[in-house]
């Protein structure tokens, strides 16, 4: 069959790779690059860094790691790559570093009983929270309500949990607190090597950067990718298949279409969506997140205390954490030299020296709320209806694994349809 794949992120690339060459596949990507949130950037110094997704836990990414193995893509552990939590107002925090320089920089503060206690309470609180989830006591409860139900989730323990949740969801503190607690605990149960000592050996980065697998996937469908493809509408007909109408007025006819783009984009493109498509795709909203590549360390703790993920946060008048930014210290990436001094800051909540900003972009990510997460189990029913198929990270927890898994399911369903 002739198949159009709309969207060049990891879901679209995986779907196109799996369908080609059994079918005549064309991938349409609106931007001038493929990869989506696997965003590689070559700095002025000639170093290729990842400014968005960069590390993946083996516990929660089985299909993604199988894909890497298919291409012979090597991964590497990230020694001394942990997390730090820095209060911008008090210039203090919790710095999870095992290096001698890190301990010396902190001095006796590193061994403060209160800090050790706060770290020890986190797994206890998570275990208690998971029991509440398993018993059904969190159904309909927000993350804010969960925090009130678990005595361990106070003080610095609460700050650590919320900051990590921001990393795992690309959502703000305000959005998280109003989000369904059950969903995020299910996510942590699946990705149980993230907030755990297992992360020391289980969470790995791509040895040569995420562009290694983006290029590998793209090379398999070379000549079948159209960049800068601005689609106006997707028109479907039971007898004549699918027609892509471009903004230029140009049209392209296909037998089937795979929407590997955000749910709201897919719904906007559909000329005549079904009731199910309106309901299930329309439940999703997305946010535009600013990501800045820079070399401005002014708001950060000393370099010895900066970790692979350093959270810069502020608290509100009530003492509750009010905002945080997720900052990647790119010298921890395996392909970057130790002399690298770049940060990648998502939703920066601090002033940046414009002269030290090298690049910035906006990445769209789904918001997981009570309305959207209820659609996840129902989304597969859209596949195959009126010649259309859907895949993306919103089919699960919003991560690479969910995008890959849903793309594999689409390829399998298309092949099954072709055989009949």
Residues 266, 259 contacting (CB under 8 angstroms)? yes
Query: What's the pLDDT score for residue 116?
Result: 74
Sheet holding 388-390, edge to edge: 225-227, 24-29, 2-6, 256-259, 388-390
Choose one of 350, 366, 382: the last residue of a domain: 366
- 232 and 200 in one domain? no
62: in domain: no
- 168 and 101 in one domain? yes
H or E stretch covering 389: strand 388-390
189: in domain: yes
Domain that residue 231 falls in: 2-37+210-284+369-419
What interhelical angle do 113-134 and 155-169 show, nearest 10? 60
User: Mean pLDDT for the chain?
Assistant: 94
- 178 and 126 in one domain? yes
Average pLDDT over residues 344-355: 97
54: in domain: no
- 280 and 140 in one domain? no
47: in domain: no
- 175 and 146 in one domain? yes
Three-state secondary structure call for residue 168 = helix
Residues 173, 166 contacting (CB under 8 angstroms)? yes
Query: What's the pLDDT score for residue 239?
Result: 72
Q: Domain holding 251: CATH number?
A: 3.50.50.60
Residue 22, pLDDT > 90, answer yes
- 294 and 201 in one domain? yes
- 27 and 85 in one domain? no
- 249 and 158 in one domain? no
pTM given for the model = 0.95
Residues 265, 328 contacting (CB under 8 angstroms)? no
166: in domain: yes
Q: Rounded distance, CA 320 to CA 318, Å?
A: 5
Average pLDDT over residues 366-389: 96
| Contacts with 329 (C-beta within 8 Å, 6 or more apart), sequence order | 306, 307, 308, 309, 310, 343
What interhelical angle do 211-220 and 10-19 show, nearest 10? 30
103: in domain: yes
Choose one of 347, 366, 385: the last residue of a domain: 366
- 269 and 140 in one domain? no
Residue 111, pLDDT > 70, answer no
- 332 and 253 in one domain? no
Query: What's the pLDDT score for residue 187?
Result: 96
Give pLDDT tens digits for 279-331.
Answer: 999 999 999 999 999 999 999 999 999 999 999 999 998 888 899 999 999 99
185: in domain: yes
49: in domain: no
Residue 106, pLDDT > 90, answer no
- 312 and 257 in one domain? no
Residue 149, pLDDT > 70, answer yes
Give pLDDT tens digits for 196-231.
Answer: 878 878 999 999 999 999 999 999 999 999 999 999
- Half-sphere CA count of 410, side-chain side, radius 13 A: 35
- Helix, strand, coil share of the chain (percent; to 5): 40, 25, 35
Q: Rounded distance, CA 169 to CA 183, Å?
A: 11
Give yes or no for a cis peptide into 203 (omega within 30° of 0).
no
H or E stretch covering 184: helix 181-190
Choose one of 346, 366, 386: the last residue of a domain: 366
- 127 and 18 in one domain? no
Report how many domains make up the chain.
2
């Amino acid at each position: 069959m002739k198949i159009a794949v709309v969207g060049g992120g990891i879901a679209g690339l995986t779907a196109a790779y799996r369908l080609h060459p059994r079918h005549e596949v064309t991938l349409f990507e609106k931007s001038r690059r493929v990869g989506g949130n696997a965003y590689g950037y070559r700095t002025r110094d000639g170093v290729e860094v990842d400014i968005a997704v960069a590390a993946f836990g083996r516990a929660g990414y089985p299909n993604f790691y199988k894909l890497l193995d298919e291409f012979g893509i090597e991964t590497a552990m990230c020694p001394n790559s942990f997390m730090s939590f820095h209060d911008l107002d008090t210039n203090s925090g919790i710095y999870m570093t095992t290096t001698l320089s890190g301990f010396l920089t902190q001095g006796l503060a590193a061994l403060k009983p209160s800090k050790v206690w706060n770290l020890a309470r986190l797994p206890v609180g998570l275990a208690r929270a998971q029991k509440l989830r398993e018993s059904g006591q969190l159904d309909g409860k927000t993350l804010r309500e969960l925090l009130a139900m678990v005595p361990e989730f106070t003080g610095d323990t609460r700050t650590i949990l919320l900051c990590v949740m921001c990393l795992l969801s690309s959502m703000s503190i305000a959005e998280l607190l109003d989000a369904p607690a059950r969903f995020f605990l299910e996510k942590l149960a699946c990705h149980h090597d993230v907030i755990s000592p297992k992360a020391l050996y289980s969470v790995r980065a791509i040895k040569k950067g995420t562009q290694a697998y983006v290029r590998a996937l793209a090379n398999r469908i070379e000549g079948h990718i159209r960049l800068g493809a601005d689609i106006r509408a997707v028109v479907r007909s039971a007898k004549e298949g699918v027609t892509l109408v471009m903004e230029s007025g140009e049209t392209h006819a296909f037998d089937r279409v795979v929407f590997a783009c955000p749910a709201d984009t897919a719904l906007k493109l559909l000329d005549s969506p079904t009731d199910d498509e309106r309901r299930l795709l329309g439940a999703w909203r997305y946010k535009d997140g600013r990501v800045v590549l820079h070399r401005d360390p002014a708001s950060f703790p000393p370099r010895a205390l900066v970790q692979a993920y350093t959270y810069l946060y502020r608290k509100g008048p009530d003492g509750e954490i009010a905002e945080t930014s997720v900052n990647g210290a790119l010298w921890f990436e395996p392909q970057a030299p130790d002399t690298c001094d770049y940060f990648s800051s998502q939703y920066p909540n601090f002033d940046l020296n414009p002269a030290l900003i090298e690049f910035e972009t906006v990445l769209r990510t789904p918001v997981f709320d009570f309305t959207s997460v209820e659609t996840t189990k129902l989304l597969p029913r859209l596949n195959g209806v009126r010649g259309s198929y859907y895949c993306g990270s919103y089919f699960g927890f919003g991560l690479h694994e969910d995008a890959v898994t849903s793309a594999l399911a689409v390829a399998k369903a298309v092949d099954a349809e072709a055989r009949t």
